[in-house]
Amino acid sequence: MVDHQFDKVDFKATPLQAGEYENCVFLNCDLSGADLSGLIFIACRFKDSNLSMARLGRASFREVVFEGCKMVGLHFEDALPFLVPPEFINCDLGVSSFVEVKLPGVRFSHCQLQEVDFTGAHLAGAIFEKSDLHRAVFSGTHLEKADFRSALHYSIDPTRNKVRKARFSLDGAIGLLDQFNVIID
């Protein structure tokens, strides 16, 4: 399907047909718990939609933008590798997983990333603009040149992650010391 706008569609009642979706807009749609396995999304925009707990097995997302979406509990490692990372704007990705996913240069803008698992992910040059990373997991994560200057509530062990030339604000740099159990007054 090409150049189609889906508006307020409940895809639990009417599942998406197998195939390619190019330059489509999903506006206020409910894809929660949907099986997106094997579907291909090219230059699509998901706006104000709910994709929580959707199954992403071998789904392909190319040049996709997610804006204002609820995306709780997604396993991005189940999707096909991203050629171009998606853009996430004002999304709730709580308890989602990006384990060993390659997303160099990904942009998270004003997102809720609480308890997201970034173990082993490749996030070089990633931007975490005003995003909340409370209890997010970073272990063996490639964060070189990532930008955390306006990110909130992160805790990153620089001895267990690659953080060379990553950018942090002076206030936020305390999140690099959490594992040392020190008191800073």
pLDDT digits (tens, 9 = 90+) for 43-65: 999 999 999 999 999 999 999 99
Q: Cα(first)–Cα(last) distance of the chain, in Å?
A: 58
One domain for residues 136 and 83: no
Residue 171: the pLDDT is: 73
Inform me whether the pLDDT recorded for 183 exceeds 60: no
Residue 43: the pLDDT is: 97
Coil, helix or strand for 89? strand
Query: Who has greater pLDDT, 173 or 70?
Result: 70
One domain for residues 122 and 60: no
In a domain, 65, yes or no: yes
One domain for residues 85 and 100: no
Q: What percent of the chain has pLDDT over 90?
A: 87
One domain for residues 6 and 76: yes
One domain for residues 115 and 161: yes
In a domain, 184, yes or no: no
One domain for residues 86 and 97: no
Inform me whether the pLDDT recorded for 177 exceeds 80: no
Contact by Cβ (8 Å): 11, 34: yes
- Which tokens hold the place of 15? 């599942």
Q: How confident is the model at residue 13 (pLDDT cuts 50, 70, 90)?
A: confident
In a domain, 5, yes or no: yes
In a domain, 143, yes or no: yes
Final residue of a domain: which of 31, 58, 90?
A: 90
What's the chain's Rg over C-alpha atoms? 17
Contact by Cβ (8 Å): 161, 179: no
Inform me whether the pLDDT recorded for 14 exceeds 70: yes
- Please give the residue range of the domain that contains residue 135: 93-179
One domain for residues 86 and 98: no
Q: What's the CA gap between 173 and 57, in Å, rounded? A: 37
Contact by Cβ (8 Å): 167, 144: no
Q: What's the CA gap between 185 and 169, in Å, rounded? A: 17
Into how many domains does the chain fold? 2
Residue 184: the pLDDT is: 59
Q: What is the mean pLDDT of residues 12-27?
A: 94
Final residue of a domain: which of 68, 90, 112?
A: 90
In a domain, 185, yes or no: no
One domain for residues 5 and 26: yes
One domain for residues 124 and 107: yes
| C-alpha distances out from residue 27 to 8, 10, 70, 78, 123, Å | 6, 11, 12, 24, 28
Final residue of a domain: which of 66, 90, 114?
A: 90
Residue 21: the pLDDT is: 98
Residue 175: the pLDDT is: 66
Task: Please state, rounded to an integer, the average pLDDT across all residues of the chain.
Answer: 93
Q: What's the CA gap between 31 and 15, in Å, rounded? A: 9
CATH label of the domain that carries residue 145: 2.160.20.80
In a domain, 68, yes or no: yes
pLDDT digits (tens, 9 = 90+) for 155-174: 999 999 999 999 998 776 66
- Reading across the β-sheet that carries 20-22, which strands appear in turn? 20-22, 40-42, 60-62
Look at the alpha carbons of 113, 117, 119, 123 in this order and tell me if their dihedral is positive or negative.
negative
